[in-house]
Amino acid sequence: MRGLRASAVVLSLTITTFLAASPSAPAAAGAPPEPEVTSLVTISVPDTAALEKVVATGADLTERVRPQPDGSIQVDAVLSEGQLSALAPLGVEKAGAPAAQETPKTPKAAAAADQIVIERAVWFRTRDGYFLSVEATSSAGPTATLSAAWRGRGGASGTVPMVPYTDAGAYLGHQLSTPAPVADRPAWVTVTSAGGGKAQARVREWPDGERPDRAIPGYRKDFITQYMPPGQLNERVKALHRQFPQLTDVIALPYLTNGYRRHAQAQFGAVVVTSLAYGSEGGNDLAMELVDPGAQGRPLQVTVNGKLITVSLATDASGAITSTAAQVIAAVNAGAGSLVKATPYRTDSGQGVVTPAPLTQLSDFLKAPADVSREPARVLALRIGAHRDGSRTGVLAYAQEHAREWVTPLVTIETAERLLRNYARDPATRRLLQRTDIFIVPTVNPDGANYSFYDYNFQRKNMTNHCPAAQADPAARNSWGVDVNRNYAAGSLFDGYVGASANCLSGTYAGPGEHSEPESRNVIWLAQTYRNIKFAMNVHSYGGYFMWPPGAYQAAGRVTLPRPTKAQEAYFLRSARTIEEAIAAERGTVTWPQQTGPVTDVLYSAAGNSADELWYDFGIFGWDFEVGNDIWNPATLTWEGVGFQPPFEEGHKEALEYASGLIALIGLAADYRAP
Ligand SMILES: [Zn+2]
């Protein structure tokens, strides 16, 4: 029942969040209706239950989620002011200056002392300094008040409160809200409970995985000079194949995208007109006007002259215009239905009388230069290996399911370049290419990526508009599209899992059905076609996570997809530590231990994501990177997110460090022996 009530709340929020309820005419006749302005904001959510509800509204959350000392959670999100206020009933507000560390508001102590178990106490060096992270559980559960105390080898000491962490109602333990700066390496940590419990543990180093191969003198790296739109990525893939034909194949994936293209539109008050042809195929050449005949008792008339549609409005005996929006819509569809379709604006009843409007050119509103193709796009994979015959362990690395994550394709390109350009000189690289079969897809979602580069930088989804007419007016155009990483078939919205939306305007819209989109079908085609693929890395940004399945839980009963076995989980974690070690070796970027783990434990439920399908349906170890770790601000004593498109100087460094991580994954694949 609780679930049902939550759904009702979600439904009403969804409607008010994504569409203005009352129609309004465009500012001036002929001015293109502009989408609502969105921005990247850090929001504060009261607790995990509220976060689950926010996820369920389909709000456009980033992949950066941070628990706070008072039990609240901060999440970065892409929202308009209207969307933000629509979330207020869930207790969502813009995060202000972070509160100083407070004692958690959980005063009750149990009568008998609680049992404390320290799950993990680690100390790590990052480019921003030294940090301590402690995770512990109390038998008293989330209401226990815990603190962690340490003494460093040099004599420095400190105490920090711990915060309870629950997910989908399950208590996962207490942790430090953010790792605490600790320059003096502690040997031991003591966790004390207000309920009387106490435990001690030795502090270990993190990530402490296998050290990466030492680079030989002359090892070549750094092949990235700028953010690259899809056209440049494809050129780079083809150029690498031309230069290294013995080591590579270019695979043209079978499903063409819908293309960087839209139908052309114009809006006349409550009348929305959409071309049948795409803008690039003639729609942009159309124009329409609403004319006052300037005479009495005239009928409503639509005439088409080539590309020009003239609507002569009806007048009464005094010469006043009488045509309503509904009448104009019907007349346009009857008289110009071979060129355009007219529909009412959103929920407008169409009963209002229209006003004349000057000749207005229809537009697809796409701003990319003409050399960016408007045709359906071919997605390319670069296959790399000395033996590309299916006999070697396959590794799939695919990026930019989410269009705005500009750093992610660079990670894959840098990886490909390093593998190919060091093959002849570096024995460790040669070994990787001898023993593995690598498939690299720099951009899964090229149409969305182009839209992100040229039109709307926060574009997350692909460009395909599945919305009905009432949600397809021009001002809604930045909200169309399918979240490619919610369109897969394992643990999907359609199976009853949480973390994807049925609303076509939502940031996490799952699409009309599983695999409805060519972008997701291409990824699955690779897994189906090359059965030697045993490892996959889904590269996302930002937030500094390293995750694996399960990635979703069911709405009913909040049951996750099956957990991997203990042995598999241990392999996921051990591999993660090795890969994180390689990332850290580049410039000291450490992926925090509490951001290393199953998606449902460390982030939030993401129904229908690709790593889950690869793992559950194909037995592929499917990981997700969230590249772009927070940067420590010593002035405010807080970690700050880097965003989707950091200044290239930062994005460049992220690409280099995560390419090292990807190469470490290929190293694990080279050593892998099927059990
Ligand atoms: Zn993403």
Span 530-551, pLDDT tens digits = 999 999 999 999 999 999 999 9
646 CA to middle of ligand 1, Å?
15
Which amino acid makes up residue 254? P
Closest CA to 172 of 578, 603, 579: 603
Please report the pLDDT score of residue 603 as a whole number.
86
User: How high is the pLDDT of residue 177?
Assistant: 65
246 Cα: distance to centroid of ligand 1 (angstroms) = 33
What are the pLDDT digits (tens) for 77-97?
Answer: 999 999 999 999 999 999 864
10 has pLDDT over 70: no
As a whole number of angstroms, the distance between CA 273 and CA 30 comes to 12
Torsion of CA 594, 596, 600, 601, to 10 degrees: -30
Q: What is the pLDDT of residue 99?
A: 40
Q: How far is the CA of 478 from the centre of ligand 1 (A)?
A: 17
pLDDT exceeds 70 at position 618: yes
pLDDT at residue 236 in the model: 98
For range 150-155, the mean pLDDT? 84
Buried b (16+ CB within 10 A) or exposed e, 418-442: bbbbbbeebebbeebbebbbbbbbb
User: Which one-letter DSSP state was computed for residue 433?
Assistant: H
Average pLDDT of span 211-228: 89
Q: What is the pLDDT of residues 350-404, one digit of tens each?
A: 999 999 999 999 999 999 999 999 999 999 999 999 999 999 999 999 999 999 9
Instruction: Give the pLDDT mean for 100-104.
Output: 39
pLDDT of residue 20: 45
621-627, strands of its sheet edge to edge: 248-252, 380-384, 436-441, 393-399, 533-541, 621-627, 545-548, 596-598
In this predicted structure, the answer to whether residue 334 has a pLDDT above a threshold of 80 is yes
Mean pLDDT of the region 116-137: 85
Residue 110's pLDDT is: 42
The confidence score (pLDDT) of residue 111 equals 61
pLDDT averaged over every residue in the chain? 90
| CA 473 to centroid of ligand 1, rounded, Å | 27
pLDDT attached to residue 155: 82
pLDDT the model gives residue 168: 63
Identify whether 626 is a catalytic site residue: yes
Please say if the pLDDT value at position 167 is more than 70.
Answer: no
Residue 178: predicted pLDDT: 64
CA distance 275 to 227: 34
Rounded to two decimals, the pTM is: 0.87
Calculate how far, in angstroms, residue 109's C-alpha sits from the geometric centre of ligand 1: 41
Segment 245-268 mean pLDDT: 98
- Position 650: which residue type? E
From the candidates 135, 517, 580, 626, give the one annotated as an active-site residue.
626
- Over residues 611-622, the mean pLDDT reads 97
- Asked if the model's pLDDT at residue 1 lies above 80, the reply is no
